[in-house]
Amino acid sequence: MKRNENIVPLSRDHHNGLLFSWKIRQGIKKNVEKERLSKYVHYFWKDHLEKHFEEEETILFNKVRHELCEKAYAEHTQIKHLIEEIAKADVPFEKYALLADILEQHIRFEERTLFPFLEKTLEPQQLSEVGKMLGPLHESVNEDTYPDEFWL
């Protein structure tokens, strides 16, 4: 699917989010210590997801009031709360699997439904403004450089 160039940085972030979900599932399959998974979840939230959610909410979603944007906001909140729950307690593997599933479903929703809707709904000037705001925030590649490769 061809993505509007102004939103591409967010789609690149989504790729990292899908890899995060895959890595969590691999960690569960390999029965790695939950503390290792929890540390990775915390790292990914602080270094990737938190900033990504803020960019989507303050730069893109606020351009139009629509139920699809409201759904994305609600899913961000749900994911954040789940991450907070994981950070606070020794939770079962099912919580990690739930996080991986919810994040993947959320990314698929944004890529397949919300972003195409916004590309059709927003004026070219609005999309250009989004791109101008995202550009400087994504000048360097924000790869997942977590050192404990528990998923291998």
DSSP per residue, 112-136: IIIHHHHHHHS-HHHHHHHHHHHHH
Q: What is the largest CA-CA distance in the chain?
A: 49
> What is the rounded distance in angstroms from the CA atom of residue 121 to the CA atom of residue 137?
24
Q: How many domains does the chain have?
A: 1
Query: pLDDT tens digit string along 1-28?
Result: 689 999 999 999 999 999 999 999 999 9
pTM (two decimals): 0.95
- The verdict on residue 130 lying in a domain is yes
Q: What is the CATH number of the domain that holds 25?
A: 1.20.120.520
Query: pLDDT tens digit string along 72-91?
Result: 999 999 999 999 999 998 99
Q: Among candidates 40, 37, 42, 114, which has minimal Cα distance to 75?
A: 114
Query: pLDDT tens digit string along 110-139?
Result: 999 999 999 999 999 999 999 999 999 998
Phi and psi of 122, rounded to 5°? -75, 145
Count other Cβ atoms within 10 Å, centred on residue 8: 14
* Mean per-residue pLDDT, 97-116: 98
**Structural domain range at position 122:** 8-137
Does the CA dihedral 112-115-116-117 come out positive or negative? positive
- The verdict on residue 142 lying in a domain is no
- The verdict on residue 152 lying in a domain is no
